[in-house]
Structure 1
């Protein structure tokens, strides 16, 4: 099965074919060989595979790398990869040259299959072309170099431009990756840039700064909005909230990095000074997906002097990295007071009435949707029915199982009530869908007109 954008990595023929090829290569690599091989080295390789999968599983859990357990298929393929390496090592001397070659191919095929299964869970690369573009650092939609911006003024652009931006870590000391800024067609009019509103875009737990563009389809969405509004759209800044792919920071300041400080004290001033955008909190909003949704709430209620509007797409009620105890330990080094300082409910109660702040919650309504029965409920926030294969509707899970928190809809209601108690206007939009990048993309498209109005984007 392939989509209009290429061969699907989330479902269809390619993942299944890759798994079959990996199994065949591994079986041939093992072979029948000698009695000693069958009764000593094959069991040893199998034991190494099981231990390897368990160790990776334990590391994954100890680091709180996702709110929900990974699918069991991932651990099977991790074990298969470790087992393939063991077969290659222990059987190298006794194997014929062709079997050594097959063993190498088995290692590569099982490792690649593991990567595809991981991708099916987190849903970052929907197609082969998208993955290739990311792996080879291919250009992003509308991407241009910063040096080219000057020559693009008054050229009558009909689409925006994406430029990389290097921000400092002098204040936060947070080692981050290259971030990106989208400039709408209106930014290029006139001799100098107009003072435009800005939206900070934050991705999920497993993240790169380009996720919203490569997987969330943000650039075509905002370009389409600009086309409908005479080139007017907000400036978008795609931030790094992780520093590395598997660093779940929840945008707090703690052992995993001073991310909140990076976003407020380094990214925001850099965008204002570099692109001459508005500095008024009334013209700044945040869109966050999954972990980023939690970040959007936190950053706004903690810094109403910097941000006035947010769209929380399937986030949690507060920063979470396991149980409450685990969250305090993992994100705040055991400091309960620091945890409370990033709890939105506590922050809002302490702050009292806000002025001009607005919120929107986008929640996935999974009622009536079929669920896969092959996985059992388990850890914190684990939804009933567990992980679903992409072919059964679970494509692109973003690291939070196929529904994220089983209570995210209720948590949105709770947060909205707490918003209203301190004069923050809020709305909740429930739509059919799952906790997926596909849901995030649709939610961004539907909420962009609302957010643009809230932060003062011209409707001309």
Structure 2
């Protein structure tokens, strides 16, 4: 049985991140050493210049790509520089160093890179524990995962938990090369000889993503099982989709140079869920929950396709698809085609469509006022008071061009979109809670909003 991704050694706070930083720093000092006079006066200063310049170059790249509107913690840039510096020390001092120092320097490179990764992970809360990171890296089994071929043997059983099943989806229409996608089937799905036609929620993750992120990091299965336990086994089917095709492909769920993702989700994933798992098919019984980039996707897909989806939860998304500046977004996402960009702009789409019938929206926004600033390990509890595991507070902020930080971009986006919703008869609410732009906030938001969207799509009446 796989270990829960939220159990085990924490990568967000506690002893491990701090111990790793201390160990990496000590090993790096030993690797640098005193060495020769030439080393101290020439090669080591060059290594320092390379480290500082490299960290600055990475910082500029982050800014140019629009990867984070909220400033990264200064610790991240320090460790980026130390990682580059350790590599420079290895290369510049390789021929003159003794064999043991070469080995120590190689270890220093590995430890500084690992520490940088942990600091980055603390910022966004991507992997809460070592077990979650190991499961993702090794593609280990997901919680309660079963094969599609095993489903017939599980029919007419009284399960207390749902099951996660890999889903077969095509790319024959979109030609979007996607990864394996998954569905969560609640206990009610297994009752009787044939599956009931349960409502469905499409789950979309952020810019840097895999289809299993909501499962491994967002605690979606535990949240859904808890909801089902309180409702006699009833819960929506959750479809965990691929909106990127690769980890760092920011598609914003549009059709463009980075892939025809909108078509994949509407014309390939949705029919696959219905046909393979015999779910409900009407728009009134389909909703979307999206986090960060996925929040933007949830708005776009629903207002563009009210014949397919009737409700959405936008967790800290943007007002429109974004991949950098406005000009960069049009170029990167739509190949410079302004008309195509307008066709995926929610405000424009709603204005063109006119009044909607039976569509509802909810926006979950993080309020950082009064929240502690990022302070290394001990800082990441970004789910607010409702976060799974009892974590509170939080400082994971901003990777993916969506850090709400001091700018409150997402809160402003929610206010704008909700006003636009009301103009076209889409009911909407905005829920603002303490937290940061992190996966822990997303998990807490899902826990809060799953009852709402389940009610909207008719779970209780299914």
Alignment TM-score, normalising by the size of structure 1: 0.91
The partner residue of 2:346 within 341, 344, 365 is: 344
Distance of 2:285 and 2:316 partners within structure 1:
23
1:198-277 mapped onto 2 (5 Å cutoff):
198-277=200-279
Distance of 1:69 and 1:346 partners within structure 2:
30
Q: 1:53, 1:76 within 8 Å by CA — same for their partners in 2? A: yes
Structure 1: gaps (5+ residues) = 375-387
Q: Counterpart in 1 of 2:322?
A: 320
Distance of 1:391 and 1:23 partners within structure 2:
26
Post-superposition CA distance 1:292-330 (Å, at most 9, x none): 111100100001111111011111111122221222122
Q: 2:69, 2:405 within 8 Å by CA — same for their partners in 1? A: no
Q: Counterpart in 2 of 1:411?
A: 413
Distance of 1:69 and 1:187 partners within structure 2:
45
Post-superposition CA distance 1:374-422 (Å, at most 9, x none): 9xxxxxxxxxxxxx95389544335143638513223222211211111
The partner residue of 2:380 within 365, 383, 390 is: 390
Instruction: Report whether the alignment pairs 1:169 with 2:159.
Output: no
Distance of 2:421 and 2:90 partners within structure 1:
59
Instruction: Report whether the alignment pairs 1:82 with 2:72.
Output: no
Distance of 2:381 and 2:367 partners within structure 1:
19
Distance of aligned partners of 1:371 and 1:75 in 2 relative to their CA distance in 1, 3 Å threshold: closer
Distance of 1:139 and 1:398 partners within structure 2:
29
Instruction: Report whether the alignment pairs 1:118 with 2:108.
Output: no
Distance of aligned partners of 1:150 and 1:403 in 2 relative to their CA distance in 1, 3 Å threshold: farther
Distance of 1:277 and 1:230 partners within structure 2:
18
SS in 2 for 1:92: coil
Distance of 2:398 and 2:214 partners within structure 1:
12
Q: 2:199, 2:459 within 8 Å by CA — same for their partners in 1? A: yes
Distance of aligned partners of 1:269 and 1:441 in 2 relative to their CA distance in 1, 3 Å threshold: same
SS in 1 for 2:313: strand
Structure 2: gaps (5+ residues) = 383-392
Q: 1:232, 1:459 within 8 Å by CA — same for their partners in 2? A: no
Distance of aligned partners of 1:39 and 1:102 in 2 relative to their CA distance in 1, 3 Å threshold: same
Say which is worse superposed, 364-373 or 195-204, in terms of deviation.
364-373
Q: 1:290, 1:398 within 8 Å by CA — same for their partners in 2? A: no
SS in 2 for 1:449: helix
Distance of 2:172 and 2:381 partners within structure 1:
46
What is the Cα-based RMSD across aligned positions, in Å? Answer: 2.2
Shift of 1:373: 10
Say which is worse superposed, 343-352 or 424-433, in terms of deviation.
424-433
The partner residue of 1:285 within 284, 287, 306 is: 287
Say which is worse superposed, 66-75 or 275-284, in terms of deviation.
66-75
Distance of 2:192 and 2:434 partners within structure 1:
43
SS in 2 for 1:312: strand
Distance of 1:409 and 1:451 partners within structure 2:
20
Say which is worse superposed, 37-46 or 308-317, in terms of deviation.
37-46
Q: Counterpart in 2 of 1:29?
A: 31
Q: Counterpart in 2 of 1:381?
A: none
SS in 1 for 2:102: helix
Distance of 1:145 and 1:4 partners within structure 2:
23
Q: 2:48, 2:85 within 8 Å by CA — same for their partners in 1? A: yes
Distance of 1:269 and 1:4 partners within structure 2:
32
Distance of aligned partners of 1:6 and 1:275 in 2 relative to their CA distance in 1, 3 Å threshold: same
Q: 1:121, 1:401 within 8 Å by CA — same for their partners in 2? A: no
Alignment TM-score, normalising by the size of structure 2: 0.91
Distance of aligned partners of 1:237 and 1:391 in 2 relative to their CA distance in 1, 3 Å threshold: closer
Shift of 1:6: 2.3
Distance of 1:431 and 1:43 partners within structure 2:
48
Distance of 2:426 and 2:107 partners within structure 1:
58
Distance of aligned partners of 1:146 and 1:208 in 2 relative to their CA distance in 1, 3 Å threshold: same
Distance of aligned partners of 1:427 and 1:273 in 2 relative to their CA distance in 1, 3 Å threshold: same
Q: 2:381, 2:396 within 8 Å by CA — same for their partners in 1? A: no
Post-superposition CA distance 1:204-230 (Å, at most 9, x none): 122111111111111011111111111
Distance of aligned partners of 1:230 and 1:391 in 2 relative to their CA distance in 1, 3 Å threshold: closer
Q: Counterpart in 1 of 2:447?
A: 445
SS in 1 for 2:287: strand
Distance of 1:356 and 1:233 partners within structure 2:
21
Q: Counterpart in 2 of 1:186?
A: 188
Distance of 1:408 and 1:92 partners within structure 2:
49
SS in 2 for 1:24: helix
Instruction: Report whether the alignment pairs 1:430 with 2:432.
Output: yes
Distance of 2:65 and 2:408 partners within structure 1:
22
Q: 1:204, 1:398 within 8 Å by CA — same for their partners in 2? A: no
SS in 2 for 1:363: strand
Q: Counterpart in 2 of 1:329?
A: 331
Q: 1:161, 1:184 within 8 Å by CA — same for their partners in 2? A: yes
